[in-house]
Chain A
Amino acid sequence: SQQGEEDPQALSIQEGENATMNCSYKTSINNLQWYRQNSGRGLVHLILIRSNEREKHSGRLRVTLDTSKKSSSLLITASRAADTASYFCATDLYNNNDMRFGAGTRLTVKP
Chain B
Amino acid sequence: NAGVMQNPRHLVRRRGQEARLRCSPMKGHSHVYWYRQLPEEGLKFMVYLQKENIIDESGMPKERFSAEFPKEGPSILRIQQVVRGDSAAYFCASSLQGDAFFGQGTRLTVV
Q: By the criterion CB–CB under 8 Å, are B99 and A104 in contact? A: yes
Q: By the criterion CB–CB under 8 Å, are B45 and A42 in contact? A: yes
Q: By the criterion CB–CB under 8 Å, are A99 and B100 in contact? A: no
B31 nearest CB neighbor, chain A only: A40
Q: Chain B interface: which of A10-18, A29-37, A60-68?
A: A29-37
Most buried by B among A35, A37, A42, A44: A42
A98 interface neighbour in B42, B43, B105, Cβ under 8 Å: B105
* Complex-state Cα separation, A43 to B98, whole angstroms: 12
Size of the chain B interface, CB-CB below 8 angstroms: 26
Interface of B is mostly: strand
Q: Check A45/B43 contact, CB under 8 A, given A98-B104, A99-B105.
A: yes
Binding site for A on B (CB under 8 A): 9-10, 31, 33, 35, 37, 39-45, 48, 89, 91, 93, 95, 97-100, 102, 104-105, 107
Name 25 A/B residue pairs within 8 A (Cβ), A-sorted: A31-B40, A33-B42, A37-B100, A39-B97, A40-B31, A40-B97, A42-B33, A42-B35, A43-B35, A43-B43, A43-B93, A45-B43, A45-B44, A50-B40, A90-B43, A94-B39, A94-B89, A97-B10, A97-B89, A97-B104, A97-B105, A97-B107, A99-B37, A99-B89, A101-B102
Binding site for B on A (CB under 8 A): 30-31, 33, 35, 37, 39-45, 48, 50, 86, 90, 92, 94, 97-99, 101, 104
